[in-house]
């Protein structure tokens, strides 16, 4: 068993020296300075993460899809039955989901982790059972999880990251599956950013207007019953972060937060997927602030809370395709861009080496 405290303490800031070196190297390459835009920033950050310039290629990539159920589903916040969580876990394990197709496209492995599905699942190839509970309690009635449950799910995420890196992964990608988890995501984003529920709650898998208004009300109620003021960010520090995560988060949010922290502790970049990952990353970065240096925002999801979370974290999304699926799909699609950004550092000639004239002063 990994101690969560030890892992939090192992997260170091990204290294400024190799980042400065990478920035200077970018300017010597046979292209106008800054012409690769955000990709230059990505390559610079990967140098800081690896502590080396040029940084290693971020491959192979490994996607982990954390799955769990939500007590708040009983409030009618999702049009889908809760059983779809377990059914989709089987679909991931059989290779039949969108995430599997995108993983195959970009050459990423897929690991599915049951951290809280409300059904018994048997371990199988690519399916780890690390169940902490059969779903959370209803966050609109009281805390969704105990502190111990949140800690156990965080630890499961840390350990999955550690094991994937030990098995050779050089880039991690977050994925989620949990019917009703956009409600818990909205509540987490409210608590960590201090935004109002109406500004961060989205339609998830597609609720109608009446259900959407009800969903916003449930997010408000969840904050209220758990003693979290709406439109006021919770105080910083790991203790408050764990309290918020346990109060209104999901078991997969906690596990994803642990996974992101585990990536940072192992000095490996982690590509975040959509709104569930964004909400989880807010918790991760509140628990261990240097974690943010290891996070790349794969995409911006159509859920309004996602942009709020990314702005709060200071992360710029790599793609915006109006995706609103989760599973890791948006994170996976960004992986070739991250690889391309790093490959430039290895393969592109400098003005000197290629005999190309630099622009005049």
Ligand X SMILES: O=C(O)c1cccnc1
Chain residues in the site for ligand X (CB under 6 A): 182, 204-205, 273-276, 301, 303, 306, 324-326
Q: Which is nearer to ligand RBZ, 47 or 223 (CB)?
A: 223
Q: How far is CA 316 from the centre of its chain?
A: 13
Task: Name 159's Cβ contacts closer than 8 Å, sequence gap at least 6.
Answer: 1, 2, 130, 258, 262
| Interatomic CA distance for residues 34 and 253, integer angstroms | 36
| Interatomic CA distance for residues 161 and 258, integer angstroms | 8
Q: Which is nearer to ligand X, 243 or 306 (CB)?
A: 306
Q: Which is nearer to ligand X, 205 or 211 (CB)?
A: 205
20 binds, among ligand RBZ, ligand X, none (CB under 5 to 8 A by kind): none
Q: How far is CA 167 from the centre of its chain?
A: 20
**Ranges within 198-257 binding ligand RBZ (CB under 6 A):** 204-205
| Angle (CA) 330 109 252, round 5° | 60
Interaction of residue 191 with ligand RBZ, rule CB under 6 A:
no
Clarify whether 327 is annotated catalytic. yes
256 binds, among ligand X, ligand RBZ, none (CB under 5 to 8 A by kind): none
User: What's the closest the beta carbon of residue 253 comes to ligand RBZ, in angstroms?
Assistant: 11
Residue nearest to ligand RBZ (CB): 204
User: What's the closest the beta carbon of residue 300 comes to ligand X, in angstroms?
Assistant: 9
Interaction of residue 26 with ligand RBZ, rule CB under 6 A:
no
User: What's the closest the beta carbon of residue 111 comes to ligand X, in angstroms?
Assistant: 18
CA-CA-CA-CA torsion sign (85, 91, 94, 98): negative
Secondary structure (H, E, C), 117-141: CCCCCCCECCEEECCCCCCCCCCCC
Given candidates 48, 305, 326, 328, which one binds ligand RBZ under the rule CB under 6 A?
326
Interaction of residue 78 with ligand RBZ, rule CB under 6 A:
yes
Q: Which is nearer to ligand X, 46 or 310 (CB)?
A: 310
- Note whether 271 and 334 are within 8 A (CB): yes
For the annotated catalytic residues, the residue numbers are 327
């Amino acid at each position: 068993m990994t101690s969560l405290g030890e892992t939090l303490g192992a997260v170091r800031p990204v290294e400024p020296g190799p980042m400065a070196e990478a920035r200077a190297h970018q300017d010597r390459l046979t292209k106008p300075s800054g012409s690769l835009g955000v990709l230059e920033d990505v390559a610079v950050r990967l140098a800081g993460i690896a502590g080396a310039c040029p940084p290693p290629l971020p491959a192979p990539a490994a996607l982990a899809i954390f799955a769990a159920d939500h007590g708040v589903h009983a409030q009618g916040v999702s049009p889908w039955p809760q059983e779809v969580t377990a059914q989709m876990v089987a679909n991931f394990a059989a290779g039949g989901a969108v995430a599997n197709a995108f993983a195959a496209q970009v050459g990423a492995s897929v690991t599915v982790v049951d951290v809280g599905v409300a059904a018994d699942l048997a371990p199988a190839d690519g399916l780890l059972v690390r169940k902490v509970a059969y779903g959370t309690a209803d966050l609109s009635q009281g805390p969704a999880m105990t502190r111990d449950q949140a800690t156990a799910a965080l630890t499961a995420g840390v350990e999955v990251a550690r094991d994937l890196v030990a098995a050779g992964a050089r880039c991690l990608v977050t994925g989620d599956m949990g019917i009703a988890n956009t409600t818990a995501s909205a509540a987490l984003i409210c608590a960590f950013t201090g935004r109002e529920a109406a500004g961060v709650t989205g339609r998830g898998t597609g609720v109608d207007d009446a259900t959407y208004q009800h969903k916003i009300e449930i997010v408000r109620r969840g904050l209220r019953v758990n003693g979290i003021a709406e439109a006021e960010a919770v105080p910083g520090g790991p203790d408050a972060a764990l309290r918020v995560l346990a109060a209104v988060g999901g078991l997969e949010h906690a596990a994803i937060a642990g996974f992101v922290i585990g990536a940072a502790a192992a000095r490996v970049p982690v590509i975040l997927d959509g709104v569930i990952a964004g909400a989880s990353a807010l918790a991760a970065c509140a628990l261990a602030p240097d974690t943010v240096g290891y996070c790349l925002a794969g995409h911006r999801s159509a859920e309004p809370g996602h942009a709020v979370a990314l702005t709060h974290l200071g992360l710029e999304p790599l793609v915006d395709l109006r995706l609103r699926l989760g599973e890791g799909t948006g994170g996976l699609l960004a992986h070739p861009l991250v690889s391309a950004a790093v490959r430039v550092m290895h393969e592109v000639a400098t003005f000197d080496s290629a005999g190309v004239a630099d622009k005049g002063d």
